[in-house]
Amino acid sequence: MKLNKNQIDQLKKLISYKGYTEIDVQYEILDHVACRVEELMEENPTLSLPDAFRKVHASFGIFGFAGLEESYKGMIEKRLRGYYREELKNLLTSYRIIYPMLVLLILFQSSTWFDDSKSWIAMMIGFILITFFTIVIRYWRKHKKYKCYASYIASKNIFQYIQFGLMTCTYSYMFVYRQAGSYDGVFPSVFQSILLICLCYLFISIFILPRIVERSVTDTEELINIYGEN
């Protein structure tokens, strides 16, 4: 037998009751569940759809559909990492590399303007923080629109860069800009070097994060068109 639309909607609700609220996760689970439910109801016509669903859910073991959800979200995160590598490569091999180079040149030039050899560090920190907050403001409305899709929610990991960025900028200001040369020994030098490397990493990432989020939005829009849900 083939499930009708009402039965499919009922299955989606049952999946949601199990704690899987993202729409694309529900459909991913539904792809694996619907056929099994159909088979059980064919074998036993008196079996209700909720009972068939419970049997299918039990067949997945004590963790239920968690494995399907984890596999699906893992695929999304892997795709996002691929986007990052692609966008980084595109940036480094295209004319767009001029933009970060020009910004970096201006930041280094500030050392001359302010007669402070370390002022470029403070300027970079300020540039990173302002740009991060601009990205958050720019995508907040889209975040509200697509928050029901794991395909987009997975990109929130990108925004964890902001927390990492805030910590890095704070420590860089304290231990590199304000107190550079105040400590002797190998460990302080290594720590300061790590902070500077992280700053450079954040600086480069700023120029590609918006493109990664946009690609995540595009993926989610395609799912919306397929599922017909908002």
Instruction: Give one word for 228, left, alpha or beta, with left for phi > 0 and alpha for psi -120 to 50.
Output: left
- Give the integer Cα–Cα distance in Å for 128 and 122: 10
Q: Mean of the per-residue pLDDT values for the chain? A: 83
What residues make up the domain containing 59?
A: 5-64
At 15-35, the pLDDT tens digits run 998 888 888 899 989 988 888
Q: Which of 47, 64, 81 is the last residue of a domain?
A: 64
Q: Which of 64, 87, 103 is the last residue of a domain?
A: 64
Residues 86, 30: one domain? Answer: no
Contact predicate 57/173, CB 8 Å: no
Residues 95, 198: one domain? Answer: yes
- Give the integer Cα–Cα distance in Å for 40 and 27: 20
Contact predicate 69/153, CB 8 Å: no
Residues 124, 103: one domain? Answer: yes
Nearest to 205 by CA among 162, 154, 144, 147: 162
Residues 134, 198: one domain? Answer: yes
Rg, Å, the chain Cα set:
25
More confident call, 162 vs 37: 37
At 198-216, the pLDDT tens digits run 888 888 888 988 888 888 8
Number of domains composing the chain: 2
Residues 15, 88: one domain? Answer: no
Residues 14, 120: one domain? Answer: no
Residues 117, 186: one domain? Answer: yes
Look up the pTM and report it: 0.78
- Give the integer Cα–Cα distance in Å for 167 and 132: 13
Contact predicate 229/155, CB 8 Å: no
Q: Which of 32, 64, 96 is the last residue of a domain?
A: 64
Contact predicate 198/168, CB 8 Å: yes
More confident call, 165 vs 76: 76
Mean pLDDT of 171-200: 73
- Give the integer Cα–Cα distance in Å for 177 and 125: 10
pLDDT of residue 180: 56
